[in-house]
Chains A and B, each alone.
Chain A
Amino acid sequence: MLGFLSLLLALLPAVSSPDWTKDFDEGVAAYRRGDYASAETLWKEALRAPELEAFDRAAITRNLGNAAWRQARGLEAVAWYTASLRSSPRDAETWASLEHARQASELEPADRGDLTSTLRRIVESWTPAEAQWMVAGATFLWLLALIGEALRGGIAWRVAAWSGFFLVAVAALPLIWHLRGADREVWMVVERDVELASEPRADLGATGAVEPAQEVIGLDQVPDWVRIETAGGARGWVPRESVMPLTPLSTNS
């Protein structure tokens, strides 16, 4: 249940481990033996390496999700898979594992298939770097259209110039989406019946509750407690073991 601590440490400045790839391989071997606890420990060690590529981070967090799943920690597995998709958002196998874990944990699908979910998935299907390159490419095309319009004029070039502008606007949506949450620390609730407290004390009554697997914004931390804000705007303190930080987007870009 303390797996989230390792991920939290991975977000902080950490001592570089030159053998993180060895930890990864040993974790794979332990997992294959069925020693899920050891595999989890080794992968968390590997996750602390600061030079991790985003794809490697995605692979490690996905494996951590499998380890949590095999140890019957469904909500924690959901959190690991969600963190993995933030680094590799179009990984079909991770998506499949996430949806299965959510279904088995009696949660709504991450992609409900309705219009809102579909649009959100399209926007989130790009890493920040990919989103930046998309904007750059669209801007280049827009520039070509504008130069054509300046040299030749005419309706066709004007249409091309406006099309380039709209292309840039559409291509900028994923980047804007990422920038929107770049400065936020996103956590996920990994326990059921988690209640909000007005202060970081266990003897106070609850001021609200949060749903399991809900993504919340981390506002403050003290030992054993995290202050969060829910999507509905409710704020309060929750026990640290009931939430797990997801990989901040700023570390990927």
Chain B
Amino acid sequence: MNKRILAALAALVCLGALPQAAQNRASVQTRLTQGIVKLGAVVGLIVEVDGTDQAQIDELPKVAGLTIGPVSRPSRQFYQSLINGRFQSTTRVTWTVDVRPIGTGEFEIPPVVLRVDGQRIETRPQKLKVVEDLQGGDLGLFEITPSTRTVVEGQPFSIHIRFGFDATLSKRVNYANLSLPWWGAMPGTLELEQGITNRNRQTEVTLNGSETILVERRENELVRGREFVIFEVKQSLIPTRTGRLEFSGNVFEFGQLRGGTFFTRQSKAEAYYVVADEFGVDVIALPEDGRPFDFGGAIGSIDVRATTDTRDLTVGDSVKLTVEWFGEGNFEFFDAPDPARGDGFGDFRVYGSTEKSKGFDHRSVVYDLAPLTASVDEIPGVRLPVFDPETGEYLEVTTPAIPIRVRALEGARTLEGGAVEPAYERDIEDIQAALPSRTGRRDLPGIPNGVLAGALVLTPLSWLFVRTQVRRRLGNPDAPLERRRRRARRELGKALSRAQSPRDEFEAVLTFLGARSRESDSAWIGRDVADYLEERNGDAKLAPEDSRELSELLQELDASAFGEKPRSRDKATVLALADRLIGGGL
């Protein structure tokens, strides 16, 4: 399967790249007309250059046991190919180099050196086997049959290869080699996949002496009255340009290998050869007459079926329409139709399509649709223009219409019953029927601009005046001592709350008094409070009893802190005294 996918991808890439390649880059291919020949026969080494006529052979290889040359006159051909719906022109130059074996054995012909568009290019080496005689034809079977002798460009066709040998040799035969010089080197074709139906019976055989391919073992058959072991393989190709494809030099070799150790190579004890008939496939151009404008490159005998994931839905709901084309055709290469461009899908919104699967015998695409109205009662057919090589005519493969039921959206209005869709439009607002002054609303009285200007000027002047006066009389209010004094009452409250001993309370009161008097805390230790306050605030409002109470408080706290005397004043009393002291001018 992976190989099929890779082959398809490669083919697609090639199809897309061919126009560029044909125009911009030349390609060189070589092949032998036969991979196995009898001694004395002449083999042709075919050298082909595509994409330019500016090519010449610079140098022929030399191989002991083979006489290579002379080179024939170059044959120039001009092709027109239909690629991606467009015609592309290609030039091909072909030489045939005679190769004469002068001895038996297996030879490798080194690359031929060419000069193409001024550049040196070497071809791939080729393998040639020369034998005394191609004996054993009666013991083997080798048949190669094309699915058709005439195809149109772009139409896939297959090469059916059937080979085998006498069943009585089956115990002795331990190797087989298919010599198919055209395999992988047929100009003007794209290889698809090998068709093997029963993978449990597949086996490998050697191809062209250098690689292996998978083949399928079939049931033994009677051939010419004897039982034969039969193998089959199918190779599918797509021609990309008109002309004749020659399939020649087909030899089936089988026999017995013997020996072969770590030190010695295997040798052939027996070898038998069967030659298949040569044949050709003519590739003709797609006819212009009757080609639909929307022809997407579908060629073959194609049938179609379609299914949906639902048939009962509401307007706007998504419905997946799966369309599968099947039969014989180039399923991997044509353009899937777009319903959005087709007739009959006007009542649908086409969200897009998805490639579900793609193979040599089918193509499946899922379309995402949504009905736009409830009047839709079927999904119309999806139309695919196809060229039928059998009839030589273009025809249309269309999916059958699929009945569906579409429900209207809940609450949606329709035109049924003559109902008229209400139309709304914007308009100006109504007039103001009542005067605002009648409701008591009055205009805000204005302020003379001169007053405002005066206020704006006086405000900073007032600040300057007050600031100067305050600093002149009381000092800088922003000084640390002043800030400490303003915080003293608040700090006293906190300190008393935190206090855990009479000493803590004593220190808190001293700190408060020091801050308020702009002094250190210790200045109040041992001070005669009454004299001090009288001296300091001779004209103050401090009551004598407050002065006395402060003196008593300090004595009491001193005794409690440094003696055993218990306190008699609580926190509230101390704070109340502090407030009175502040109010009295402390």
Known A-B contacts A100-B426, A136-B455, A139-B452; the reply to A28 vs B437 at CB < 8 A is: no
Would you call B452 and A53 a contact (CB within 8 A)?
no
Which parts of A96-112 form the interface with B (CB within 8 Å)? 96-97, 100-101
Write the A25-38 contact mask toward B (1 if CB under 8 angstroms, else 0): 00010010000000
Residue pair B478, A152 in contact (C-beta under 8 Å): yes
Binary contact readout B354-368 vs A (1 if CB under 8 angstroms, 0 otherwise): 000000000000000
A241 interface contact, C-beta 8 A: no
With A and B bound together, what is the CA distance between A101 and B426 in angstroms? 10
- Given contacts A151-B470, A154-B478, is CB(A129)–CB(B431) below 8 Å? no
CB A104 to nearest CB in B, in angstroms, measures: 8
Most chain B CB atoms below 10 A, which of A28, A132, A161: A132
Q: Complex formed: what's the CA distance from A97 to B428 in Å?
A: 4
Complex interface: stretch among B21-29, B217-225, B345-353, B442-450:
B442-450
Q: Once the chains are docked, how many angstroms separate the CA of A143 from the CA of B466?
A: 11
Query: What 1/0 mask marks residues of chain A from 8 to 27 whose CB sits below 8 Å from any chain B CB?
Result: 00000000000001001000
Tell me what chain B mostly uses at the interface: helix, strand, loop, or mixed.
loop
Q: Chain B residues near A146 (CB, 8 Å)?
A: 459-460, 462-463, 466
Instruction: State how many angstroms separate the Cβ of B474 from the closest Cβ of chain A.
Output: 9
Most B Cβ at <10 Å: residue of A31, A69, A94, A135: A135
User: Nearest chain-B residue to A252 (Cβ)?
Assistant: B443
Interface string of B491-533 (1 = CB under 8 A from A): 0000000000000000000000000000000000000000000
Does the CB pair B429–A96 fall under 8 Å?
A: yes
In the complex, are the beta carbons of B436 and A139 less than 8 A apart? no
A94-B429, A153-B477 given as contacts; is B435 within 8 A of A24 (CB)? yes
**B441-482 interface (Cβ within 8 A of A):** 441-447, 449, 452, 455-456, 459-460, 462-463, 466-467, 470, 476-478
Q: Is A128 an interface residue (CB 8 A)?
A: yes
The prevalent SS among residues of A at the interface is helix
Q: Among residues 32 to 49 in chain B, which have CB atoms less than 8 Å away from a CB atom of chain A?
A: none
Query: A147 an interface residue at 8 Å Cβ cutoff?
Result: yes
- B459 x A143 contact (CB < 8 A): yes
- Which residues of chain A are near B210, meaning CB under 8 Å? none
Contact flag A129-B477 (CB < 8 Å), given A24-B435, A56-B436:
no
Residues of B within 8 A of A54 (CB): 443
Q: If the complex has contacts A139-B459, A146-B460, are A66 and B431 also in contact, measured as CB distance less than 8 A?
A: yes
| Given A136-B447, A153-B476, A93 and B466 contact (CB-CB distance below 8 Å) | no
Interface membership of chain B positions 404-426, coded 1 if the CB is closer than 8 angstroms to chain A and 0 otherwise: 00000000000000000000001
A130 to B447, CA, bound (A): 9
Residue of B at shortest CB range from A51? B437
CA distance A166 to B459 in the complex (A): 14
Contact B444 A130 (CB under 8 A): yes
Does A79 interact with chain B (Cβ within 8 Å)? no
Contacts of B433 in A (CB 8 A): 28
Is the beta-carbon distance between A101 and B470 smaller than 8 angstroms?
no
Q: How far is the CA of A168 from the CA of B476 in the complex (A)?
A: 27
Q: Which residue of A lies closest to B458 (CB)?
A: A143
**Which chain A residues border B343 with CB–CB below 8 Å?**
none
Is the CB–CB distance between B432 and A63 below 8 Å? yes
Q: Are B446 and A62 in contact (CB under 8 A)?
A: no
How many A residues have CB within 8 A of the partner chain? 46
A205 CA to B452 CA, complexed, in Å: 49
Whether A234 sits at the interface, judged by CB under 8 Å, is no
Bound form: Cα–Cα A53–B433 in Å: 16
For residue B211, CB closer than 8 A to chain A, the reply is no
Q: Mark A154-186, 1 if CB is under 8 A from B, else 0.
A: 100000010000001000000100010000000
A residues near B483, Cβ cutoff 8 Å: 154
CB neighbours (8 Å) of B455 from chain A are 136, 139
Q: Which residues of B contact A149 (CB under 8 A)?
A: 463, 467
Taking a contact as CB atoms closer than 8 A, the residue among B431, B435, B486 that contacts A31 in the complex is B431
- Least Cβ–Cβ distance between A149 and chain B, in angstroms: 7
Q: Enumerate chain A residues within 8 angstroms of B435, measured Cβ to Cβ.
A: 21, 24, 56, 59
Cβ-defined contact, B449 with A179, below 8 A:
yes
Least Cβ distance of A172 to chain B in Å? 8
Report if A207 contacts B (CB, 8 A).
Answer: no
Interface centre among A21, A55, A168 (most CB of B within 10 A): A55
Interchain CB contact under 8 A, A100 and B427? yes
A178 CA to B535 CA, complexed, in Å: 63
Cα distance A59–B446 in the bound complex, in angstroms: 20
> In whole angstroms, what is the CA distance A151 to B483 when docked?
12
Nearest to B428 among chain A residues (CB) is: A97
Q: Is A1 an interface residue (CB 8 A)?
A: no
Which chain A residues lie closer than 8 Å to B462 at the CB level? 143, 146-147
CA A97 to CA B430, docked complex, whole Å? 9
Q: Which residues of B contact A21 (CB under 8 A)?
A: 435, 438
Choose among B427, B429, B449, B466 the residue that contacts A147 (Cβ–Cβ < 8 A). B466
- How many angstroms between the C-alpha atoms of A65 and B467 in the bound complex? 56
Kindly list chain B residues whose C-beta atoms are within 8 Å of the C-beta of A97. Answer: 428-429
| Least CB separation from B478: chain A residue | A153
**Residue in B426, B431, B456, B477 whose beta carbon sits within 8 Å of that of A168 in the complex:** B456
- CA–CA, A153 and B471, complex, Å: 10
Whether, in the assembled complex, A142 has its beta carbon less than 8 Å from a beta carbon of chain B, the answer is yes
Question: Do the beta carbons of A132 and B447 come within 8 Å of each other?
Answer: yes
Q: Does A253 sit at the interface, judged by CB under 8 A? A: yes
Are B459 and A142 in contact, CB atoms less than 8 angstroms apart?
yes
* A53 and B443 contacting across the interface, CB-CB below 8 Å: yes
Q: Bound complex: CA of A63 vs CA of B429, how far in Å?
A: 10
* B429 contacts across to A, CB distance below 8 A: 66, 93-94, 96-97
Tell whether, in the assembled complex, residue B437 and residue A55 are in contact, meaning their CB atoms are under 8 Å apart. Answer: yes
A146 — nearest CB in chain B belongs to which residue? B463
Give the shortest distance, in Å, between A89 (CB) and chain B (any CB).
13
**A136 adjacent to B470 (CB under 8 Å):** no
Chain A residue contacts of B430, Cβ below 8 A: 66, 93
The reply to whether A133 and B444 contact each other, CB–CB distance below 8 Å, is yes
Task: Give Cα A21 to B441, complex, Å.
Answer: 15
Report chain B residues within 8 Å CB of A129: 443-447
Complex CA gap A94/B430 in Å reads 9
**Is A151 a contact of B466 with CB atoms below 8 Å?**
yes
Contact B436 A55 (CB under 8 A): yes
CB distance from A148 to the nearest CB of B (A): 10
Query: Does A122 reach chain B (CB closer than 8 Å)?
Result: no
Nearest CB on A from B435, distance (A): 5
Instruction: Decide yes or no: A59 and B466 within 8 Å by CB, A129-B443, A136-B455, A152-B477 being known contacts.
Output: no
Would you give the shortest CB distance from A157 to chain B, in whole angstroms? 9
Interchain residue pairs with CB less than 8 A apart (17) = A28-B433, A54-B443, A66-B429, A66-B431, A69-B428, A93-B430, A94-B429, A100-B427, A129-B444, A133-B444, A135-B456, A143-B463, A146-B462, A146-B466, A149-B467, A150-B466, A150-B470
Q: A59-B432, A96-B429, A132-B446 are in contact. List 8 more A-B contacts (CB 8 A).
A: A31-B431, A56-B435, A62-B432, A63-B432, A129-B443, A129-B446, A143-B459, A146-B459
Tell me the B residues contacting A by CB distance below 8 Å: 426-433, 435-438, 441-447, 449, 452, 455-456, 459-460, 462-463, 466-467, 470, 476-478, 483, 486
Give the 5 A-B residue pairs with the shortest CB-CB distance, closest first.
Answer: A153-B478, A146-B463, A150-B467, A55-B436, A93-B429
Interface residues of A (CB under 8 A from B): 21, 24, 28, 31, 53-56, 58-59, 62-63, 65-66, 69, 77, 93-94, 96-97, 100-101, 127-130, 132-133, 135-136, 139, 142-143, 146-147, 149-154, 161, 168, 175, 179, 253
